Structure 1
Amino acid sequence: MVIGITSCNSKINGNNTPTSPIEEEIILQDNRNEQLLVDANNNDPIPAAYLLGDWIEKLKGKRVAIVGNQTSVVKTQDTIISKEWKTKEKLRYTHLVDTLLAHGIDIKRVFAPEHGFRGTADAGATIKDGIDSQTGLPIISLYGKNKKPYKKQLEDVDVVLFDIQDVGARFYTYISTLHYVMEACAQYDKKLIVLDRPNPNGHYIDGPILEQEHQSFVGMHPVPVIHGMTIGEYALMINGENWLENNLVANLEIIECKNYTHDSSYSIPIKPSPNLPNDQAINLYPSLCFFEGTDVSVGRGTEMQFQVYGSPSLVKYTDFDFTPTPNVGAKRPKFNGKKCYGVDLRDYKKLDHLNLEFLVDAFAKAPSKQNFFNSFFTKLAGTKTLQAQIEKGMTAQEITATWEKGLEDYQEIRKNYLLYK
């Protein structure tokens, strides 16, 4: 039996065919007492959410809150039979919320991180609370004034289920949301289950260690820019290093991925945020995000986000140019409507290190050094030292050499929390 299910703001058209804003049409296999059919014949990494049989019994009879967004999906397999085809199998995705509701799980509410429940809001945009039009579930924002669930919002909850795709960079705010959810669960004695997902940038560790005086929502912990951990491993580190308020420790359980190591290649099937549209952008993101604290665009307002960089002032940089205009996830992009000259990285090789050469070279070519950096740069870097080093004229190699001791110390800590090789 196959049940047609839509995502949380999907509609049913006149032919009873589900249509969904989540990037795939979604159908849920009704095998409620079995594990969903996923990647049975290969060794590709499998997110924990797909392995329903490994964890759904833990939610039976419990009152559940979900922390999720558009990446919180379950991969399912349905069989389509028609007059034209004998039998044809297609892989689909269904939202985690829809999956659990179909299995009779009592969901009380959904908590949403930056970019919102559906992942369409601009970076830094205020996310408002609301009611999901399809399910009637309350949607509570954890981005803005309320970064941590209130006691009242957890009073009727037994278990909090966290399932969000991370990309492995310190300034990607989903791990900050994880911190505050863990803190609330510890304060109010709630069980937290994290459905782990592979880290597409989990194959390396690099960058300066955050200094605590520069702690912010884009950098909460003393880790490097690329931390080399899954979100489940990161949760274990938050607990184990006593980073929660007043040394609280969350009642935490990690449901592990299958077939994953830190050397695994993993392609995220659904954009983790509006401006990370593909594997190339996700791989370049840790290196290019520094430009968000400068007078240089990373392509927001184009279809090449985090795959290009440039500005109107870099006229003699190269022959490549782009012009940002408003689009989904960038209503007011930097240099809106202005031609930017810079570098096209869409075919750049896959990085296994933090590439500072982009930043150092752009600074060297900037006509106004005084206006190149803004105050956000130090928050992203987690230290004032990086800006000073670039302004001093140090090379990328000279700068990265200064990180070595901090990275060695961090790796000694990290190894205590690894779930995967």
Structure 2
Amino acid sequence: MRNGLKKDAAEILESAIEAVEPSVAVKRALTREKNTLQVGSRSYDLDMFRNIYVVAFGEASVPMSRALEEILYDIPLKGVAITKYGLGSKLEQIEVSEAAHPVPDENSLKAGQLVKEILAQAEKEDLVIFLISGGGSSLLTLPRKDVSFKELVKLHEALLSSGATIKEINTVRKHLSTVKGGGLAKMAFPAQSISLMLSDVVGDTPDIIASGPTVPDPSTFEDFYDIVERYQITLLPSISRLLEDGLNGLIEETLKTGDPVFGNCYSELIGTNCTALCSAQKKASQLGYNTLLLSSYVTGESKEIAKVFAALAKNELLHGRPMSRPACILAGGEVTVTVRNNGKGGRCQEMALSFAIEVEGLEDMLFLAAGTDGIDGPTDAAGAFADGSSVEKASMQGMDATKMLSSHDSYSFFNSIGDLHKIGQTGTNVMDIYILLVR
């Protein structure tokens, strides 16, 4: 019974990920009829452009770029695709670079400098195509003048372990960068530009995806200040000076709505968490489950959100609600973990461990929490399976579930009982998927 549920959950997740495969998403969004390129409500006469530049960044940048090369197979392209270590592969025309995620490294900085050089060549008669996906904020980095890169890295690390949401983290990132918060749109001007985006943020807000490099930014230096105060983050000297200057109006804000550079920009959302969830729901129905798609907006502390799924499981087992069994309850989003100890794991594994504790001893159900990118936190697992037997199995291995949750050591917990879900890096990223199955 349990192995059957694991198999079903894995197949449902696989279907979700396939629906947001990057090359499929690009070819769905871009159509070409002879020398007319159609994207959304816009048509572009390719004969009108002297050069076409491509700037792709994020975990899906290589397959997105490959799809674009196939669509524009007979047209010269110049540009770069910046992706996460291990996801790079050769393209026909576009250069490929690898960098670090979720914390930028020297290659992220080099990528930012290279993109600046590429866009400096773009003129009015040119077209720039931006291919943007999850992880872009880290992979493409170019600090504002006088901001220390080493201090920027330290701030990234502090933000990621603080419990701040991705919106809050990216608000800070935008104000430290020349490429984020509309910065790339400014660099590309006066060329025309198209931005195709795979969303890895709750709500699919364009100004949060990869820190909004080609769209207006509504956030301010005051928001930056409020965030670091809220999470009690100590700023190192160069960043503290930048924030003070920003608050005093001594340096310019990020680009806002109405800036003339956006008159030349067109943006299109081509894949989301909801896209993945709808495919997962269809697969679950094919497997014989009665399905309910709760939401693609799940946020909050990972271990607390797990209690909601545990409550749903208990209600299904006792009352057959909110739908009759067999039931599949689906949701997606991106939760957070406030790290207080140095265990190994990720937000999905932590959610699964918290769920396991809440449902200890119960039967006929299983929970899978997994990242669509195949990597949960700094681990080689996408997430983990959990059910009513997980705590007992780990106990037989000498592990205390409650203590391991407190130390954020979920990876060791699920590794000991063989319930990590390892699928490898998928090359896409539309946040996380949560699957609850009840027989």
Higher relative contact order (CA 8 A, sep 6+): 2
Normalised TM-score (structure 2): 0.37
